Structure 1
Amino acid sequence: MMAIRLIEAKDLQEIAGWEREIAIISFGEEAITDIAFHLRKLEKAVQRERSGMLVWETDECIAGWMWMSGRMNSVTQDVYMQFRSFYIREAYRGTPGVDALFGAGMQWAVNEGCQNIVGHVHVHNLPMRALYKKYGFTPTHLTMEYRVGRKEEEAQND
């Protein structure tokens, strides 16, 4: 049986590990890998943003996780929804539950009255880029970075 539900306290430890993995994918060597940091971040967020923190549960385990939160553009004052996290346990990647979880998050944002949804993704995270594209997201910004002292051949591989 598959269920998509709000996050619960019993989920926090496992999801903190997933947040660590997301950080490594997104930030590489600069990632914060301390599980306690991610656990504290989630505990605080649950108090403020629980309605946008969805868990996909199937086969008596957590198979996926999505976190969305409302934001406001400081210049225009427009409200938008931001994807904070999306993670699928490896054994469940590519299954219909992935779309069910993503779709549930999108529907939640629409139900909240959101007209714009923003997701940030590392340029090398092709699976997430493909998922965003599947749901009609289009690229709007690209961050360029230069690191002093980085070997030229490493820079060419990026």
Structure 2
Amino acid sequence: MIVRQIEEHDLTEIANWEREISMISFGEEAITDIAFHLRKLEKAMMRERPGMLVLDMDGRAAGWMWMSLRVNSVTQDAYMQFRSFYISEPFRGTAGVDALFEAGMLFAKREGARRIVGHVHVHNLPMRALYKKYGFAPTHLTMEYSGCGGTEEQNHD
């Protein structure tokens, strides 16, 4: 088991994972077009490759983490944006999960990030548990109402 930077031969597998992440995070509004995710990854590799990490098990991608260094426009503090984390089914619950997550934490420290910010869907309990395990604390909660009508009238009792 090793953690390495993304390579071109990983792109198709990771694009499929990005599609799955999108479906978990955005439900019916998810972008499911694999070509879209491939283009996004190819473009990101040109400028963000150091933060695009792959858990490699016996020469095969088994997990994926994507982190981007950002700068707060007001305070000018550098922080790391946690963009994606995915472990393929056979490797969930293994030491590989921690190896990949800890590699990301180390990357953030080496890059000079003062903090790491990650967003997670409220129903994604495994990711919420992983964040908690590593000392992440919730700071914002997004509230959403989707009963504004549109083409159909909504009834509420």
Rounded Cα–Cα distance in structure 2 between residues aligned with 1:73 and 1:106: 19
User: Does 2:89 align with 1:86?
Assistant: no
Where do 5+ consecutive residues of structure 1 fail to align? 154-158
Encode CA deviations 1:94-148: one digit per residue, 9 max, x unaligned.
0001000000000011011111100000000000000000000000000000012
- Residue 86 of structure 1 aligns to a residue in which SS? strand
1:77 Cα deviation from its structure 2 partner: 2.0
1:23-56 CA distance string (max 9 Å, x none): 0000000000000000000000000000000001
Aligned residue number for residue 53 of structure 2: 54
Aligned length, in residue pairs:
152
Q: Report how far residue 72 of structure 1 moved.
A: 1.5
- Identity within the alignment, %: 74
Alignment correspondent of 1:37:
36
Q: How far does residue 152 in structure 1 lie from its aligned partner after superposition?
A: 5.2
Equivalent position of 1:71 in the other structure: 70
Asked if the contact 2:77–2:114 (Cα under 8 Å) also holds between the matched residues in 1, the reply is no
Displacement after TM superposition at 1:151 (Å): 6.8
Q: Which runs of 5+ in 2 are unaligned?
A: none
TM-score by length of 2: 0.93
Assess, with a 3 A threshold, how the Cα gap between structure 1 residues 92 and 145 changes in structure 2: closer, same or farther.
Answer: same
Give the distance between the partners of 1:75 and 1:30, measured in 2 at CA: 31
Superposition RMSD on alpha carbons, in Å? 1.4
Structure 1 length normalisation: TM-score?
Answer: 0.92
Shift in CA distance, 151/30, structure 1 to aligned 2, threshold 3 Å: farther
Q: Which amino acid aligns with 2:81?
A: Q
